[in-house]
Amino acid sequence: MPQEEALENAVDTLIIGYRNKITGFGISEFLETGVDPFRFTVNVSIWGLKAAIRKEIEHKIEMTLENLVGDFHENYLGNTRHIPTNTEWKMIPEGDVPGIDIANHERKIYLQIKSKHNSMNSSSSKKLAQELGELAEKIPDATVGCVWVVATQKRKAIGENKISEVGVCYKGNKVYEIITGEEGELNKVLEKLLVLIPNKIGETNFDDLLDEAAERVSTALVQLAEDSNKTPIQVVTSKSID
């Protein structure tokens, strides 16, 4: 069974981050990471300005959720126990041990956690392999490596070949099982989330929060367009294409 306190704390952090991103979303967040003016123009033509803005906000919020889910894996797995040995996993503050997110010091296991098979590119995977190799040399009897949660055994994760030369690699269901020592842990956590998240969000209506964010951004974008003697699409284009 999922370890309740660790899971609840990880869910709390995820929901707070998700809610804060939506409630704090304004015109600067809308424009600063760029908006594809062609996709935006198509959506404005079909759905109208405010609905197109909402769609773009949802797109950006989904990218934020990807990062929050990555943090969730670290927050949960880095605060669990390996049940068979009754040993603790700890989250490692960024930079304290280069390349490492969580560690079981008693068992001398040090791992980087990636949420998906494509979370790295060639450059970042090369850097991680170097960091893991250096740690393995520093602590010869340690197990170092990288895990990818959303991944299959049939497909190589980006960086897996490089990292397998210096450390262990685990993917998919094995990640949660290896760390907690509990068979089927990943699916059990997913089932628990279906109950836990609705209880945590209570009466908060995220659909309404998105509508409010779209209203804020729409009002600000129209004003910005008027002030600069441009159309909203021209403002979006000028921020995304030089």
CA distances from 25 to 61, 181, 215 (A): 9, 40, 11
pTM for the whole structure:
0.92
Position 58, amino acid: E
pLDDT digits (tens, 9 = 90+) for 97-127: 999 999 999 999 999 999 999 999 989 999 9
Domain extent listing, the chain? 6-72+198-240, 84-181
Check whether 1 has a pLDDT greater than 90.
no
Q: By percentage, how much of the chain surpasses pLDDT 90?
A: 95
Average pLDDT over residues 223-231: 96
Check whether 91 has a pLDDT greater than 80.
yes
Q: By percentage, how much of the chain surpasses pLDDT 70?
A: 100
In degrees and rounded to multiples of 5, residue 229 shows phi and psi of 55, 45
Interacting residues of 91 by C-beta distance below 8 A, sequence separation 6+: 74, 75, 78, 79, 101, 102
Interacting residues of 142 by C-beta distance below 8 A, sequence separation 6+: 108, 109, 110, 135, 136
pLDDT digits (tens, 9 = 90+) for 179-225: 999 999 999 999 999 999 999 999 999 999 999 999 999 999 999 99
Neighbours of 216 (CB within 10 A): 19
pLDDT digits (tens, 9 = 90+) for 150-173: 999 999 999 999 999 999 999 999
Question: CATH fold of 84-181, please?
Answer: type ii restriction endonuclease, domain 2 (3.40.1560)
> Quick one: pLDDT at residue 33?
81
Check whether 66 has a pLDDT greater than 90.
yes
pLDDT digits (tens, 9 = 90+) for 4-40: 999 999 999 999 999 999 999 999 999 988 899 999 9
